[in-house]
Amino acid sequence: MKDFAGRIAVITGGGTGMGRELARQLVAEGCNIAMCDVSRAAMDETRRLCEADKLPQGLRITTHLADVSDEEQMRRFRDEVAEQQQTDRIHLLFNNAGIGGGGSLFTNTRAQWERTFNICWGGVYFGTRAFMPMLEKADAGHIVNTSSVNGFWASLGPTVPHTAYSAAKFAVKGFTEALITDLRLNAPHIKCSVVMPGHI
């Protein structure tokens, strides 16, 4: 997909960091944006920055409070996107939301470990499940899942445990690679990619 004008993109974790910059770059290309985050204030700032870049007339930017680790909230996010973007389809899905934490199975709590895993991996899974029907209805679609350099190397060095985050990012990488075949066989107009950024 080379032309983003008039397309609809969904971005998780759109309030800060990579999600914010994705929103700004896509809007500059004429793409409609629906973003979710757990921070309304952060999304408001992303929206302000997008609008400061002189939006093309009629472009829609919608913001949605949603925790990507909660499947019901992701389904609600999808339903809000359909209503507020006035569509039954999307073209781009960026499963971008993530956090650090839960480094050690021994010194961090189970709750810390599972929160990291549930957001970094669960958010990708729930996002893909929730929005797949809308991607299937589009003429072309693309899923971009954010893994990490720690999806290649499960380490921050020999003295720092990085267990939950690394396990989650390995899962994102493996899921995306397997999804390539699944999509080719069952929804060939949808492509997918995995992004492996360094520390941001």
Give the separation between CA 44 and CA 54, rounded to whole angstroms: 16
Give the separation between CA 74 and CA 129, rounded to whole angstroms: 9
Q: Which one from 117, 165, 170, 175 is the annotated catalytic residue? A: 165
Do 162 and 103 form a contact (C-beta atoms < 8 A)?
A: yes
Give the separation between CA 129 and CA 26, rounded to whole angstroms: 23
Residue with tokens 């930017």: 61
Residue 88 to residues 18, 71, 82, 165, 200, Cα–Cα distance (Å): 26, 19, 6, 34, 34
Beginning with the edge strand found earlier in the chain, give each strand of the sheet holding 32-37 in spatial order.
Answer: 61-65, 32-37, 8-12, 92-95, 141-146, 190-195
| Residue 131 token pair | 């929005």
125 among known catalytic residues: no
108 residue type, one letter: N
Catalytic residues: 165
